[in-house]
Chain A
Amino acid sequence: MRILLRRAWQQKHPSPSHPGWDFHWHPVELAGAAQAIAAAGARADAGVAVWSIGPRHALWLRGFAAVAPAEQRRYVGWSGCAAEPAEADDEAAWAQALPAVLARFTLPPARPFALADGPGAPNDAVVTVEPTGALLDPELAPDDGEAVARALCAGGDAVLADPHDAALPAWWGRMLSWLPPDERVRPRAGLLAAHAAAAAPAPAAEPQRNLYHYLHRCWQHRARRPWRLVLELRAFKPVSLADLFEELTGLAAAWEHAADLEAYLIRSGALAQQEIQAAHAHAPAPLRGPDVGDAGRLWNRILHYWGRGFLGARARGEVAERLAGVLARRITVDHLLALDTPERADAERYLRRLRFEALLTVRDARTLRTALARVLPSLEVHRERA
């Protein structure tokens, strides 16, 4: 993919583009710059960096302080890089190339434009970049990684030791490779500063907190396998990452008590009321009797009853797809939970339960595994522990 790389400065000092002491861009205003600077708002200062990403642009600016001699007033200016597709490429190609695009950024010095920076046109370059794979090595995980994950996903402020580090755009690109391509290019902007804002940002809802928490955990542990499962789940049922984590959070909360799990399965459409009634009518024991003490036992019984046809024999294949969807979410949650307590976690326990505790025939177990593999293809392929 061919992209146009631009370097530019916003300053009050005169430049070849403007002779006076007004704020102006040299050589031209960069795409997304106004959005990024407005997002920085009152926190815009010399020590910070701002970024902005959209379906047709990526931008990185570093702030600098200078004094306009004509007024003897201090001001905060910006210098940085932006990229946009050189041709009318589609959004998907731009999203795939974004990490490589950011890796090509060569930030100009954080100071007003000087003649040594080139007369203008040489600051533009058309280069070819190749799409990169997903889940690139994050290399380093910042201390406040959840805030970085939040900024990466939703924009806003994050704290980094050196916001002016020239390697940050490339690093940001590697982090972006952990997001689904369409979410990489969702329009957003943010600010990177060495110190947190006086007030903490409004706390996110629990599903969002979980999203940022586990994205950070995956970076910390270089754990590609759990996050690959997340991306596959999201690709199977196209929803935003935030919505997906809402589902996962709901599932995790419901998987303690049998009654909660039954309510969750009905609410999420995994089981219909008629199927539960069918189980009551035909099965030797009710689906949720006194001997089903917790959600795990209920899940085993549901799989068992499905295998024996007690949930309705005519649509076994369709029910298998729905149950495999729930199982995929459960296994993904277990993989993520294993990042919190790696020493005592068992991320694949529900695969074993499927095999040993649900008392399914080999053929039924294989049917569910096949349906599961359609949702999480890497579950069978990448057996290595992350």
Chain B
Amino acid sequence: MARVRLFSAGEPARLAGLASLTAPDPSERVSALVDVAVVGARSDGKTQFILHAIRTLGADAPDDLSEPERNATLDIMQVVLAAARPRPDANNPDAGVPHYVFRLQPRKLLEEMGLLAQLVLLARSSRLARALAVVLVAAAAGVMGASLGGAIDGVVGLGLLWLCATAAGLAFLAARRRFVGRGPIEVVFWDVAGENLYGSRQKSAEYWSLLRHLVRRRVADARPERRYGFAPVLICNPLGLGIDDKQSPFGRLRPLLPIFAGLGGFEPEALVVINRWEAVRGLCPEGADRDELVAIAAEAMSGANAPALVAVAPTEPMPVVRRGTIRTCCVDAEEAREEGVHTTVLRYDAGLCELVSAPWQPFSELDARLRAFWAPPAVEPHQILHYRFAEGPRAFAGDARRVFLRWLGRLAFRSGAAAPAPVALPARAEQPDASAVATSEPAAAQTLPMFAADEKAGGFHTGGT
């Protein structure tokens, strides 16, 4: 089974990244396709989130990816498995939007969920709700019949209860088995360079256009036995929230989240990810003044002794945050439905970190390395928080893991209804033409029949007569 190239005619949008995208063969058992577009400003931790997500999924990539996708997967796996220093390179905004294809096995998804979450998921995906409704109606009919005949008593009641419980249990097991048999969920992470969304480049309309082409193409292929889900993930980096959350990159991107989420069609979903959770805890200790300003000196532990290669003195001021802003955006944020978008909140810490708070001292007295990175802060802070971090090869753990997997399951099977109505697009043949099939083997070279098959090198081969 070969994967199908979705945009065989080349890049449909101005921002490159879709031409190499492939989807599983229509005959392959894949229960759902999910596109996750990770959105955030430069250095907010978008790729770091993707690394955690990939590890959480068990780094299970399809075997038959096209060559560009396989290369991208191998590149990201170099970082996923780099135990000592899993620090990804910065994405170049001109190099297009890379994507990474991985899979979530249904058994793994169910095992990581609580019973209630499993029931909800199976009700959405495997007709469990219908089966349970039948059991309840049968039970009600039984009770009514017994009461009309005057035969209801404790023994009969217990018997009915046992029957209902057994039927419900069997329905649950059957739905679970059906769900596992439908195949994995294919999750595609889209990792845009921060500068394309917020920063010096501002190509967010081109990114939006790319995602729009992507979703339209996917929706055209969706069907009840292979659902499709799309959602944006907005990264909230607490260290970049500043004094006024409305003026921070996160604060400015947050109102745009419904527009990106709306690309996914009905029941829009979004995920807000708050990373560097330990820093949030350090910035919001109990009893602290909400209006207090704190300068943040963040640096990677491994880079502490690295020489600073700075050609021009930086004029970007050292970041300063207000404790109240951190509390509002990070601590108080919770799952909600806003502007028609169901937003889930995930909190995690990307690595191992050390936090040291100290009273603010004049900028000129700070360590020379910090002064090489930053200009003096725009306002005088009360404190400075030294946040030293080391990346680790971590996956989401505890609550973050449960929230992430539950969110993925919800995204893949948002409704028990059939797939969303397809958008009018150029029809795709049931059997894709040969040029649209991305095979891992190169096509056979064209050889004139008069020549031996191994004569594939250039040259006319014959001098004629």
Contacts and interface: CB of A to CB of B under 8 A. Distances in A.
Contacts of A200: 442
B52 interface: no
A42 B96 CA distance: 9
A9 to B, nearest CB: 9
A24 interface: yes
A248 B68 contact: no
A5 B306 CA distance: 36
Decide if the interface of chain B is mainly helix, strand, loop or mixed.
loop
Give chain B's interface residue range (CB within 8 Å of chain A).
35 or more
A263 B356 CA distance: 86
B90 A113 contact: no
B460 A249 contact: yes
Interface string B382-393: 000000000000
Interface in B308-354: 308-316
A239 interface: no
B195 interface: yes
A12 B459 CA distance: 47
B460 A23 contact: no
Interface in A208-253: 209-210, 212-214, 216, 248-249, 252-253
A66 interface: yes
Contacts of B311: 13-15, 112-115
Contacts of B199: 20, 22-23
A41 B68 CA distance: 9
B288 interface: no
A38 B442 contact: no
A356 interface: no
B93 interface: yes
A44 B95 contact: yes
Nearest to A298: B465
A42 B89 contact: no
Interface in B337-382: 369, 372-375
A256 B90 contact: no
Interface residues of A, number: 70
A249 B461 CA distance: 10
A255 interface: yes
Contacts of B312: 13-16, 19, 113, 115
A248 B460 contact: yes
B58 interface: no
Nearest to B461: A252
Interface in B395-428: none
Contact of B95 (A40, A74, A214, A216): A40
5 contacts: A21-B314, A42-B68, A42-B75, A74-B90, A209-B457
Interface of A: 10, 12-16, 18-24, 33-34, 37-38, 40-44, 66-77, 112-115, 146, 197-200, 202-203, 205-206, 209-210, 212-214, 216, 248-249, 252-253, 255-256, 294-297, 330, 333-334, 336-337, 340, 345
Interface of B: 16, 20, 42-43, 67-68, 71-72, 75, 87-90, 92-96, 98, 193-195, 199-201, 299-300, 302-303, 306, 308-316, 369, 372-375, 442-443, 445-448, 450, 456-465
CB-based closest 5 A-B pairs: A213-B458, A255-B464, A72-B303, A19-B315, A294-B465
